[in-house]
Amino acid sequence: MKILVIGDVTSPAGVEHLSRELWKFRGENGIDFCVVNGENASFVTGISPELAEVLSRAGADCITGGNHTMRNKRIYGYLDEREDIVRPLNFGDASPGKGYTILDARGYRVLVMNAMGNVHIDPTLDSPFSAIDEALKDAEGKYDLSILDIHAEATGEKLAVGYCYDGKINVIFGTHTHVRTDDKKILPHGTGYISDVGMCGESGGILGMDAECVVKRMKSHLPHPFVAADGKCVANGVIFEYDITSKRVTKITSVDF
């Protein structure tokens, strides 16, 4: 199976880019299942139900979240209603929605989990490790392959998650920093891993934002409003090729489109 994961969508323009390009890319590359991190789709204010719908129609089989997901209260009911969108597991049971879901791909049951790190990230949630353990226990026997989006700032924390669940989760990819890392690897027990997938949005600035406004904020420490970068939209992604028989990832490829 070919599993495509796409990094944080940073703006409505990134959503529109995927609505134009994703199905075409899937067809050209034989993608069986696609996960998109959509937590910034409304441009630093979470994701709206309308943009989530566009991403789903665009070819995202599952939408994952992160630290900004809960900033848009309009998504709360959508999180409760839909099976194809998840928020971090460790937001807890009192939060709307769920941290994992099981979806179909070519007749196989795909477990998709979303967890958030707690190193240098706000809000600070409970341990992602205990939340992942609980989800795996709860879903035991109900899935054929598993995917985890670990939304975190610290690469060391993401790597710790990768090695902890090597052989227990089939695909582990990191999101949040908007910069794709060059450390994709197949871990010793067959798990495919990368610390960060990157982003989908306007290029040419700083993490999807206009460079000048980001520099002003950092130099002055004043709340200058964010402005989207003015470059063309690009989607950063990674394709994991997974062998159903051996239960191992056999190849990992970085892609941009």
Cβ neighbours for 116, distance < 8 A, ≥ 6 positions apart: 66, 67, 88, 89, 90, 91, 125, 128, 150, 151, 152
The residue among 232, 234, 236, 233 whose CA lies nearest residue 255 is: 236
The residue among 115, 216, 226 whose CA lies nearest residue 161 is: 115
Length of the chain: 257
Show the tokens assigned to 215: 């520099």
Whether 125 and 106 have beta carbons less than 8 Å apart is answered as no
**Known active-site residue 68:** yes
Q: Catalytic pick from 68, 151, 176, 178? A: 68
- Nearest-angstrom CA–CA distance, 242 and 186: 11
Burial 221-240 (b: 16+ CB within 10 A, else e): eeebebebbeeebbbbbbbb
DSSP 155-187: HHHHHHHHHHTBTTBSEEEEESSSS--S--EE-
**DSSP, res 96:** S
Catalytic positions, written as ranges? 68
